[in-house]
Amino acid sequence: MRTAPTILHLDMDAFFASAEQASKPSLRGKAVIVGGLGPRGVVATASYEARVFGVHSAMPMAQARRLAPNAACLVPRFAFYRSISEQVMGLLRSLSPLVEPLSLDEAFVDLEAGGAAGDADSARLVGEGLRADILAVTGLTGSVGLAACKMLAKIASEQAKPDGLVLIEPGTERSLLEPMPVRTLPGVGPATGDHLRRAGIHTVGEIAEAGEGELVRLLGKAHGQALHAMALAHDERPVVAEREAKSVSVEDTYDVDIHDRLRVGLEVRRLADRCVRRLRASGLSGRTIVLKVRRYDFSTLTRSETLRGPTDDPAVVREAAARLLESVDTTGGVRLLGVGVTGLADYTQEDLFAQAAGARAESLAEEPAEEPDEEQAAPAERRWPSGHDVRHAEHGHGWVQGSGVGRVTVRFETPLSEPGRVRTFRVDDPDLEPADPLPLVRRRQNGAEGAEGAACAVGGVDPAL
Supply the CATH number for residue 343's domain.
3.30.1490.100
Q: Is residue 410 part of a domain?
A: yes
Mean pLDDT across the stretch 168-185?
93
Q: Which residues 6+ apart lie within 8 Å of 372 measured at CB?
A: none
Asked if pLDDT for residue 376 goes beyond 50, the answer is no
Domain's final residue, options 314, 334, 366: 366
Mean pLDDT across the stretch 426-438?
95
Return the percentage of the chain with pLDDT > 90, whole number: 72
Cβ atoms of 413 and 393 within 8 Å: the answer is no
Whether residues 271 and 219 fall in one domain: no
Cβ atoms of 390 and 398 within 8 Å: the answer is yes
Q: How confident is the model at residue 168 (pLDDT cuts 50, 70, 90)?
A: very high
- Amino acid identity at 109: V
Asked if pLDDT for residue 448 goes beyond 50, the answer is no
- Amino acid identity at 404: G
Burial class, 330, CB count within 10 angstroms (exposed 0-12 / middle 13-18 / buried 19+): buried
Measure the CA–CA gap between 168 and 286, rounded to whole angstroms.
42
Q: Is residue 323 part of a domain?
A: yes
Whether residues 427 and 325 fall in one domain: no
Q: Is residue 102 part of a domain?
A: no
Lowest-confidence segment of 108-122, 173-187, 306-320, 364-378 by average pLDDT: 364-378
pTM of the model: 0.77
pLDDT of residue 455: 37
Q: How confident is the model at residue 84 (pLDDT cuts 50, 70, 90)?
A: very high
pLDDT of residue 14: 96
Whether residues 425 and 328 fall in one domain: no
Whether residues 203 and 289 fall in one domain: no
pLDDT of residue 445: 53
Return the percentage of the chain with pLDDT > 70, whole number: 87
Locate all alpha helices (DSSP H) within 242-347, ordered by sequence.
Answer: 261-281, 314-326
Whether residues 301 and 410 fall in one domain: no
Burial class, 341, CB count within 10 angstroms (exposed 0-12 / middle 13-18 / buried 19+): buried
Cβ atoms of 150 and 173 within 8 Å: the answer is no
pLDDT of residue 453: 39
Q: Is residue 122 part of a domain?
A: no
Whether residues 201 and 280 fall in one domain: no
Whether residues 286 and 214 fall in one domain: no
Asked if pLDDT for residue 372 goes beyond 80, the answer is no
Angle between helices 15-23 and 78-93 (to 10 degrees): 110
Q: Which of 389, 386, 421 is nearest to 26 (CA)?
A: 421
Q: Is residue 287 part of a domain?
A: yes
Asked if pLDDT for residue 356 goes beyond 50, the answer is no
Q: How many domains does the chain have?
A: 3
Q: Is residue 378 part of a domain?
A: no
Mean pLDDT across the stretch 307-335?
92
Lowest-confidence segment of 18-22, 123-127, 306-310, 455-459 by average pLDDT: 455-459
Asked if pLDDT for residue 451 goes beyond 60, the answer is no
Whether residues 262 and 337 fall in one domain: yes
Q: Is residue 64 part of a domain?
A: no
Mean pLDDT across the stretch 111-120?
94
Task: Output Rg (C-alpha) for the chain, integer angstroms.
Answer: 25
Q: Is 313 annotated as a binding residue?
A: no
Q: Which residues, in sequence order, are bridge partners of residue 144?
A: 10, 165
Whether residues 263 and 342 fall in one domain: yes
| Start-to-end C-alpha separation, the chain | 41
pLDDT of residue 447: 44
Q: Is residue 6 part of a domain?
A: no
Mean pLDDT across the stretch 74-93?
95
Asked if pLDDT for residue 18 goes beyond 80, the answer is yes
Angle between helices 212-219 and 190-198 (to 10 degrees): 120
Locate all alpha helices (DSSP H) within 139-162, ordered by sequence.
Answer: 150-160
Lowest-confidence segment of 154-158, 375-379, 391-395, 405-409 by average pLDDT: 375-379
CATH number at residue 207: 1.10.150.20
Please give the biggest Cα pair distance in the chain. Answer: 77
Measure the CA–CA gap between 168 and 159, rounded to whole angstroms.
11
Look up the domain containing 396 and give its range: 389-434
Element housing 356 (H / E)? helix 349-366
Lowest-confidence segment of 34-43, 323-332, 368-377, 434-443 by average pLDDT: 368-377
Whether residues 423 and 322 fall in one domain: no
CA–CA distances in Å: residue 222 to residues 151, 218, 227, 304, 340: 17, 11, 9, 26, 27
| Residues with active-site annotation | 106
Specify the higher pLDDT residue, 118 or 352: 118
Whether residues 207 and 263 fall in one domain: no
Q: Which of 276, 287, 291 is nearest to 338 (CA)?
A: 291
Query: In the Cβ-directed half-sphere of 267, how many Cα atoms lie within 13 Å?
Result: 22
pLDDT of residue 383: 86
Q: Is 11 annotated as a binding residue?
A: yes
Asked if pLDDT for residue 194 goes beyond 60, the answer is yes
Q: Cβ of 43: how many Cβ atoms within 10 Å?
A: 23
Mean pLDDT of all residues in the chain?
A: 87
pLDDT of residue 459: 35
- pLDDT (tens digit per residue) in 387-423: 999 999 999 999 999 998 999 999 999 999 999 999 9
Whether residues 279 and 358 fall in one domain: yes
